[in-house]
């Protein structure tokens, strides 16, 4: 699917979000590129404070349960802990920027995310896809890096 030429150019964004590839989207896509143009994938990495692994795991399970129950537009919300249990990667998939915005402003994030940030630090936040300017603005505080879709497929 081709992307809408009327979408805002995110490279003009004044917040701290960096665009890794500022080539025009339409010149990179071809008729064989298959992806829901609205779907977004986020990759978030945390560094966990020493001695806080059990509390971090408990909060990760609790926030995951809340997201599963209250956010139907969240397609994937998976937490992965390294062997040393001092780093975690979260892989999230959203139907659209609207569902991403809903997640950022949802009960799970408002209630539990501050608790997670007391015991862990975000070391990487990547958004893969073509987020709306509103979502980009809402993610400015986490220094998200946006990677625009240029081709490929999902089965």
Summarize pLDDT for 90-120 with one digit per residue, the tens.
999 999 999 999 999 999 999 999 999 999 9
Task: Kindly state the average pLDDT of the residues 134-143.
Answer: 96
Q: Is the pLDDT of residue 76 over 70?
A: yes
CA distance 66 to 14: 33
Residue 64 lies in a domain: yes
| Structure tokens, 143 | 């220094």
Q: Is the pLDDT of residue 138 over 80?
A: yes
| Structure tokens, 72 | 């139907």
Residue 97: what pLDDT?
98
Residue 41 lies in a domain: yes
Contact 21, 29 (CB under 8 A): no
Residue 18 lies in a domain: no
| Structure tokens, 108 | 């799970």
Residue 53 lies in a domain: yes
Written in H, E and C, the secondary structure of 19-31 is ECCCCCHHHHCCC
Residue 10 lies in a domain: no
Domain count, the chain: 1
Domain membership of residue 49 as a residue range: 37-147
Q: Is the pLDDT of residue 146 over 60?
A: yes
Per the DSSP assignment, residues forming a β-bridge with 16 are none
Greater pLDDT, 64 or 37: 64
Ranking 36-40, 79-83, 146-150 by mean pLDDT, the lowest is: 36-40
Residue 22 lies in a domain: no
Dihedral angle sign, alpha carbons of residues 103, 108, 111, 116: negative
Per the DSSP assignment, residues forming a β-bridge with 10 are none
The pTM of this model reads 0.77
Q: Is the pLDDT of residue 89 over 60?
A: yes
What is the per-residue pLDDT across 8-57, written as a single tens digit (0 to 9) for each? 433 333 333 333 444 344 444 455 555 677 999 999 999 999 999 999 99
Residue 70: what pLDDT?
97
Q: Is the pLDDT of residue 124 over 90?
A: yes
Helices 107-119/53-70 angle, 10° precision: 170
Residue 132 lies in a domain: yes
The CATH number given to whatever domain includes residue 118 is 3.30.70.100
Residue 69 lies in a domain: yes
């Amino acid at each position: 699917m081709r992307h809408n030429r009327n979408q805002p150019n995110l490279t003009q964004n004044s917040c701290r979000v960096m665009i890794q590839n500022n080539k025009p989207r339409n010149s990179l896509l071809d008729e064989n590129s298959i992806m829901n143009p609205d779907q977004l994938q986020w990759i978030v990495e945390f560094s966990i404070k020493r001695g806080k692994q059990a509390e971090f795991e408990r909060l990760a399970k609790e926030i995951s349960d809340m997201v599963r129950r209250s956010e139907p537009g969240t397609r994937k919300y998976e937490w992965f802990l390294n062997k040393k249990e001092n780093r975690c990667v979260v892989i999230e998939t959203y139907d659209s920027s609207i569902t991403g915005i809903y997640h950022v402003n949802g009960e799970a994030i408002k209630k539990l995310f501050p608790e997670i940030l007391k015991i862990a630090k975000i070391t990487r936040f990547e958004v893969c896809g073509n987020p709306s300017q509103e979502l980009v603005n809402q993610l400015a505080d986490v220094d998200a890096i946006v990677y625009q879709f240029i081709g490929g497929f999902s089965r």
